[in-house]
Amino acid sequence: MSQYPTISPSNNPSNQPTPLSYCPPAYDPNKTNYIAGEQVELMNHIHTCAGGRSIEEAQIYEPYCNIFHQSMLDQSNLQVELQLWNEAWTFTSACYKTDKPTTSPITDYPTISPTNNPTETGLWYPDLYVEEQRCVRGDDYPLWMSLSSNVNDYLFESREDCCSKHVCEETSKPTRKPSKSPTMKPSNMPSKKPSRMPSRHPSKHPSKSPSVIPTYLPTMSPSLDPTTDPSNSPSKPPTIKPTPEVCLFVFHMF
């Protein structure tokens, strides 16, 4: 079993269920000698102190595994302290607390085949450390949110409950990755502001009104409609050939 859950579910469900580990001792907020690699249980979840960190990183994160409340952090450098404190305990996996696992399925009639799409798991919680205000779903929430004193304020069964407690920006659920190709058709409504870059091809239909600034080059073909007012004098027809130069000779008579 991998140490960290995947960001998105797999395309195909596994043939066999993932085995659960037995839960380690519960997290003790009064304990101050947790070491890197030590595991605790909270809400049937295993959290590892400085889990997945290098030896050098573990030495940095280990002291923060023994801080129960953020009021105990260094207030002069609170932003960095909060990040270290929230990342000190790493979610590892779910676990079970029963003395022995059941030897047979709990349901009398299990499904014949697995579901086509895996169900989303995890609780909803506020993502407090990003610019936009939002609630997300998963198991990778900070350990302190699952403490009995905080669980009712930070962990929820639905997005609606989470957003009713914490402000959520009214945006549709974003995709995890950008689309591979642009859409085949333009949007129904034009954008409120013009694009910064001009289009590669001219528009099919002319604009309803002339441009404010005249163009520097003449058009390649005549306009479809003549001008409203005639010119004061007719234009001279162009000559087919250029006019030859004429030289004048002056003779003086003596």
- The tens-digit pLDDT sequence of the chain (254 residues) is 444 445 455 566 666 666 778 899 999 999 999 999 999 998 889 999 999 999 999 999 999 999 988 889 999 999 899 999 999 999 999 898 865 556 665 555 555 555 555 556 789 999 887 777 889 998 888 888 888 888 888 899 999 999 998 888 865 555 444 544 455 555 555 555 555 545 555 666 666 666 555 655 566 666 666 666 676 766 666 666 666 665 555 555 55
Number of domains in the chain: 2
Q: What is the pLDDT of residue 206?
A: 67
Largest pairwise CA distance in the chain: 143
Rounded Cα gap, residues 210 and 7, in angstroms:
54
Q: Would you say residue 94 lies in a domain?
A: yes
Establish if 240 belongs to a structural domain. no
Q: Give how far Cα 200 sits from Cα of 197, 203, 207, Å.
A: 9, 10, 17
Residues 148, 139 contacting (CB under 8 angstroms): no
Statement to judge: residues 21 and 75 lie in one domain? yes
Say whether both 52 and 96 belong to one domain.
yes
The answer to whether residues 32 and 91 belong to one domain is yes
Residues 63 and 134 in one domain: no
Same-domain check for residues 91 and 144: no
Domain-terminating residue out of 47, 74, 103: 103
Q: Specify whether 25 is located in the same domain as 82.
A: yes
Give a yes or no: residue 130 inside a domain: yes
Please report the pLDDT score of residue 180 as a whole number. Answer: 46
**Residue 49 shares a structural domain with residue 127:** no
Residue 110 lies in a domain: no
Residues 94 and 131 in one domain: no
Q: Both 128 and 94 in a single domain?
A: no
208: in domain: no
* Same domain, yes or no: 96 and 132: no
39 shares its domain with 89: yes
This prediction has a pTM of 0.49
DSSP string, 92-132: EEEEE-SSS--SS-SSSS--SS--SSPPP-SEEEE-TTSSS
- Say if 113 falls within a structural domain: no
Would residue 155 count as lying in a domain?
A: yes
Please identify, among 103, 132, 164, the residue that sits at the C-terminal boundary of a domain.
103
Q: What pLDDT is attached to residue 179? A: 47
Q: What is the span of the domain harbouring residue 59? A: 16-103
Would residue 193 count as lying in a domain? Answer: no
What burial class does residue 159 get, using C-beta atoms within 10 Å of its C-beta: 0-12 exposed, 13-18 middle, 19+ buried? middle
CA-nearest of 33, 31, 27 to 45 is 27
